[in-house]
């Protein structure tokens, strides 16, 4: 049975110089063996599977396109309107995801009927927000620039290894679509001049989003449904959010076709 050098320490407990010399020789051999093993382990690690990474602004970015950090993330732009905000959500490749609007209405009475009435008014206002956005604001140059900056910011975040979703608020832009304010929530650049030139690809994607929403505006309105309802008893206000997505728009289209077929 081999005890190794730990065993030698125990055996050497009461022996003389010969045993001490033998122990030192074994210890030196062990040290050489351990050093060789470490070299082999290091060599194996360096010759194994490589994970290629690059550094952008001191952030490691995995170049694998299937990595979670590189997957396309939803981006959204919020447009503030008199009746409440309207949020347009899409992918950074231009695929429409959904649209949401929020609106409020006062509660006039002290009964359930008054709350129901206020809720219906708020729903109508939220739907009108979306309808007016699509008819009067969607096709403006300013909206195109806001959407383009949103796409560009999302692509920059992905390239820099930032996994956060991007949301931009149109209050950070002037009437012509230029950036005028800093807003940590939107992650706008410290250098507005950085966005002074049009990013052709981002603008093309923004144009695709705009055309998709505009072309499906009628069926989109039929796909709207209420996603949240909040009653502020102290402030006597009802606030609702309505939303339409690809799924709800498709369901509305299918329902309409079924009704048309039933009526024939």
SS3 labels along 142-157 = HHHHHHHHHHHHHHHH
Could you give the percent of the chain with pLDDT greater than 70? 65
- From 89-98, 130-139, 196-205, the region with the lowest mean pLDDT: 196-205
CB 221 within 8 A of CB 127: yes
Q: Where are the domains of the chain?
A: 4-46, 72-263
CB 177 within 8 A of CB 243: no
CB 56 within 8 A of CB 70: no
CB 204 within 8 A of CB 74: no
* Higher per-residue pLDDT: 252 or 12: 252
Could you give the percent of the chain with pLDDT greater than 90? 39
Q: Give the mean model confidence (pLDDT) for residues 17-23.
A: 49
Give the CA radius of gyration of the chain: 32
Q: How confident is the model at residue 64 (pLDDT cuts 50, 70, 90)?
A: low
- From 71-80, 116-125, 200-209, 214-223, the region with the lowest mean pLDDT: 71-80
Please tell me the distance from the alpha carbon of residue 146 to that of residue 79, in angstroms, as a whole number: 9
pTM: 0.65
* Higher per-residue pLDDT: 237 or 2: 237
* Higher per-residue pLDDT: 183 or 151: 151
**DSSP-derived secondary structure for 217-248:** HHHHHHT-EEEEEEEETTTTEEEEEEEEEHHH
Q: Is the pLDDT of residue 55 over 60?
A: no
Mean pLDDT of the chain: 75
User: How high is the pLDDT of residue 9?
Assistant: 39
Report how far apart the first and last C-alpha atoms of the chain are (Å, whole number).
95
Q: Which tens digit of pLDDT belongs to each residue from 126-174?
A: 999 999 999 999 999 999 999 999 998 888 887 777 767 888 999 999 9
């Amino acid at each position: 049975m081999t005890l190794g050098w730990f065993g030698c320490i125990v055996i050497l407990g009461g022996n003389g110089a010969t045993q001490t010399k033998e122990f030192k020789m074994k210890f030196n051999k062990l040290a050489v063996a351990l050093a060789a093993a470490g070299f082999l382990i290091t060599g194996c690690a360096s010759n194994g599977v490589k994970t290629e990474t690059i550094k952008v602004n001191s952030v490691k970015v995995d170049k694998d396109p299937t990595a979670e950090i590189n997957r396309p993330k939803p981006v959204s732009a919020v447009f503030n309107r008199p009746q409440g905000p309207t949020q347009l959500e899409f992918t950074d490749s231009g695929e429409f995801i959904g649209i949401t609007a929020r609106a409020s209405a006062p509660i006039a009475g002290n009964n359930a009927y008054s709350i129901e009435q206020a809720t219906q008014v708020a729903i109508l206002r939220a739907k009108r927000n979306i309808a007016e956005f699509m008819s009067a604001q969607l096709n403006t140059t300013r909206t195109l620039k806001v959407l383009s900056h949103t796409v560009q910011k999302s692509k920059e975040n992905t390239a820099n290894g930032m996994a956060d979703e991007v949301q931009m608020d149109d209050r950070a832009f002037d009437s012509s679509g230029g950036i005028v304010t800093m807003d940590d929530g939107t992650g706008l650049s410290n250098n507005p001049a950085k966005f002074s030139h049009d990013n052709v690809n981002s603008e093309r994607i923004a144009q695709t989003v705009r055309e998709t929403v505009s072309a499906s505006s009628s069926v989109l309105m039929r796909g709207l449904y209420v996603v949240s309802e909040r009653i502020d008893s102290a402030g006597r206000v009802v606030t609702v959010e309505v939303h339409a997505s690809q799924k709800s728009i498709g369901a509305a289209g299918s329902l309409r076709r079924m009704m048309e077929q039933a009526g024939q």
